[in-house]
Amino acid sequence: MSKVNLADRLRAAAARLPEKPALVLRPISGGGAQVTYHDLDERVDRAAGAFQGLGLDRGERVALMLGNSEHFVEAFYGAMRAGLVVVPLNTTYTTNEVAQILTDADAAAIVVGEAYHDRLAGIKETLPALEHVVVAGASSPPLGAQTWKQFLGTGGPFTEVEVDEDDLALLPYTSGTTGRPKGAMLSHANLLANHHQMEQTRLSVEELDVVLCVLPLFHIYSLNVAMAFSLSRGATVLIMERFDPLQSLDAISSQRVSVVIGAPPIYIAWLNTPGVEEYDLASVRYAVSGAAPLPRQVLTRFESELGITIWEGYGLTETSPLLTTVAMDDRPRPGSVGCPVPGVELRLVDDKGADVRAGDPGEVVVRGPNVFSGYWQDADATAEVLEDDGWFHTGDVGLLDDGHLYLVDRKKDMVLVSGFNVYPREVEEVLYRHPKIAAAAVVGTPHPYTGEAVKAVVVLREGEEAAAEDITDFCRRYLARFKCPEVVEFVESLPTNPSGKVLRRELRKSA
């Protein structure tokens, strides 16, 4: 078994490009700083030595509850270099959710941002495995914790740790939009396999690139694609604390960003920003969309109005994350998420696990070196989705056309109207064509005669007005009657998780 560590890629980049900026930091309050590859590598060594100074052994779990900052990067790579397993925590989690994950992961330490330290209130005493709390950004240590500066000061010189490629590296917990969060076990080999796969597409990042990283780093898409892959290639990563339409557009222009790693809400927000066409975006050589389906209208408008092609991809936490990308072809196909990246096998199967007929929809199942080994301490949940021969059942329904994957919807999101299947994404694609609609989502709502009916939750563009009948009539031009919304609700915004996925469970509560 070979010895490999994700952090080795950072070390190699630092040896090759010591004085090149690795990070450009843009806090939302303004200002910012640069960190060279040499300095970042030294900081990571200090963090790794500090983790070792806590007495943590190879394979123990370290949770990170940090915003987009240098602390996240240093703690992440420091833990990796020390042979530890990183458990990234969503910074919007409540105290109960944090406690649940820390308990499940048996985390021995947590590095938490000062803004999120209150989530640990009253739960540390209930977590016997959690021995160490480090608060990043604090000037003085809270009770029972130490500051990041104190943490670094207690460690000695870093001692090299041998890590096998199949050793657990990352334990991200699924978003829990459909149930209890589960820890997806990703090895160093899984994460690095996805890097190698991306290197073989037209979306490979190069040393001269400046990559916009504005999605939350605790999400696998931002973590392994925007940050880790870019740093492994020697690019400069522009880390923004959080997304702001105007500040991010200004950063793209002033920092000459060449690669944008985004999600649909970001591209939608930019399109709806007055004066967006006045920003100089000529430095952008490509933009990528992931984490949630990109409406076709957004893709076409972005190219026609701003001159930037968005290359859509598809993946999951359990697949490190990238599975398919339209960048396997010469041009994006609107509505498609592309073909499998090299090394990934993909099939569509029916409810019995048999391959569907050509042209029929089926559940997407995949196999490849980037696919996880299972859920942490949950054999039953693993057995539900992962076959013995490595095929992973994604829970997504798709269609294949000439090898190109078109996602129809999540199996569990399907609406059943009088026995007919209605896939929310099909209806949402039509809604996004309406000139007055800025954003939309579709769920099922109980109906006394048809079992369920389609409900559209709609955000109108600023200054626009519309009646429910206008929306339904518009849909009837393009959809069969049973697919058209029976109920239309107008809202100020759609509930989403930090990665941009619409929280349909929240919409169903009012359905």
pLDDT digits (tens, 9 = 90+) for 238-263: 999 999 999 999 999 999 999 999 98
Does residue 30 surpass a pLDDT of 80? no
Phi, psi of 496 (to 5 degrees): -135, 160
Domain 414-509 sits in CATH at 3.30.300.30
Question: What order do you get walking across the sheet with 362-367 strand by strand?
Answer: 345-349, 362-367, 392-401, 404-410
Q: What is the arithmetic mean of pLDDT over 277-285?
A: 96
| 3-state SS, residue 77 | helix
pLDDT confidence of residue 141: 86
Q: Tell me the domain boundaries of the chain.
A: 40-186, 414-509
Percentage of residues of the chain with pLDDT beyond 70: 96
Does residue 410 surpass a pLDDT of 90? no
Q: Do domains 40-186 and 414-509 have the same CATH topology?
A: no
Of 56, 325, 390, the C-alpha closest to 190 is: 390
pLDDT confidence of residue 175: 55
Does residue 360 surpass a pLDDT of 50? yes
Q: What is the arithmetic mean of pLDDT over 267-273?
A: 91
Cis ω for the linkage preceding 321 (within 30 of 0): yes
pLDDT confidence of residue 4: 87
d(CA 360, CA 347): 12
pLDDT confidence of residue 178: 42
Q: What is the arithmetic mean of pLDDT over 201-205?
A: 92
d(CA 106, CA 386): 24
Write the CB contacts of 356 (distance below 8 Å, at least 6 apart in sequence). 348, 349, 350, 362
pLDDT digits (tens, 9 = 90+) for 363-403: 999 999 999 999 999 999 999 999 999 999 998 889 999 99
Q: Which residue has the higher pLDDT, 220 or 423?
A: 220
Percentage of residues of the chain with pLDDT beyond 90: 75
pLDDT confidence of residue 331: 87
Strands (E), 58-200: 61-65, 85-88, 109-113, 132-136, 146-147, 168-170, 186-187
Does residue 283 surpass a pLDDT of 60? yes
| 3-state SS, residue 49 | helix
What Å distances lie between residue 234 and 16, 20, 42, CA to CA? 8, 8, 16
Cβ 144 vs Cβ 131: under 8 Å: no
Residue 511's pLDDT band (cuts 50, 70, 90): low
Q: Which of 152-156, 303-307, 438-442 has the lowest mean pLDDT?
A: 152-156
d(CA 114, CA 94): 15
pLDDT averaged over every residue in the chain: 92
Q: Which of 69-73, 200-204, 269-273 has the highest mean pLDDT?
A: 69-73
CATH architecture of 40-186: 3-Layer(aba) Sandwich (3.40)
